[in-house]
Chains A and B, each alone.
Chain A
Amino acid sequence: MKKLLSKSLWISICTLCLAACTIKSDQIAPNDSNARIASGDLYCSTITIDWWSVACTNGGETCYWSYMYPETKTDCSYQSSGPITGFSPAGVLLDGYLVPAADQRLQDITISSTLNTAQTTELREALNDFINPCLNNNLFSQLVVRGKKFNFAMGSSGGGLGGYNPNTNTITFASTNNITAEVLREELFHGYQDIFYSGGIAQYFGHDGESNIEFESKLFKDLVNMVGGGGMQSGVTADHPKAGAYTSWLFDMTSAGKFPTVLNLDKYQEYLQAFRECYATHNEPARPDLLPNALMQLIKGSNCPQN
Chain B
Amino acid sequence: MKNLTFLSLLLVGVALSLLSNGQPVNTEKVKAFSTTYLVEDYTSSVFIKNESNKLFNQKSNLKLDEITGSGINLKELQKKIYNTLKTSLSIQQRARFTSPILLKLLIRYDGKIDGVGFMIKKGYSLTIQDIEVFEKIITKVVVPFKDSSMYRNANYIPINMPLRPGDMD
Footprint of B on A, CB under 8 Å?
159-161, 174, 177-178, 180-183, 225-227, 229-234, 237-239, 241-242, 244-248, 250-252, 254-257, 270, 274, 278-279, 281
| Nearest chain B residue, comparing its CB with the CB of A180 | B70
Residues from chain A with a CB closer than 8 A to the CB of B64 are 159-160, 237, 278-279, 281
Footprint of A on B, CB under 8 Å?
22-24, 40, 42-45, 47, 59-60, 62, 64-65, 67-70, 74-75, 77-78, 99-100, 102-104, 119, 121, 147, 149-150, 157-162, 164
Please report the C-alpha to C-alpha distance between residue A281 and residue B103 in the assembled complex, in whole angstroms.
29
Please report the C-alpha to C-alpha distance between residue A219 and residue B149 in the assembled complex, in whole angstroms.
26
Residues from chain A with a CB closer than 8 A to the CB of B121 are 255
* Known A232-B160, A242-B23, A247-B119; contact A182-B59, beta-carbon cutoff 8 A: no
B22, A242: Cβ atoms under 8 Å?
A: yes
Residues from chain B with a CB closer than 8 A to the CB of A177 are 147, 149-150
Residues from chain B with a CB closer than 8 A to the CB of A248 are 42-45, 47, 119
**Apart from A252-B43, A255-B121, 14 more pairs, CB < 8 Å:** A161-B70, A180-B70, A182-B69, A225-B69, A226-B160, A230-B162, A232-B67, A232-B68, A238-B60, A242-B23, A244-B24, A251-B102, A252-B44, A256-B100
| Nearest chain A residue, comparing its CB with the CB of B46 | A248
B45, A251: Cβ atoms under 8 Å?
A: yes
Residues from chain A with a CB closer than 8 A to the CB of B104 are 247
Please report the C-alpha to C-alpha distance between residue A244 and residue B24 in the assembled complex, in whole angstroms.
8
Residues from chain B with a CB closer than 8 A to the CB of A160 are 64-65
* Known A181-B70, A232-B158, A247-B160; contact A239-B150, beta-carbon cutoff 8 A: no
B60, A237: Cβ atoms under 8 Å?
A: yes
Residues from chain A with a CB closer than 8 A to the CB of B69 are 182, 225, 230-232
* Known A182-B68, A239-B60, A245-B42; contact A225-B22, beta-carbon cutoff 8 A: no
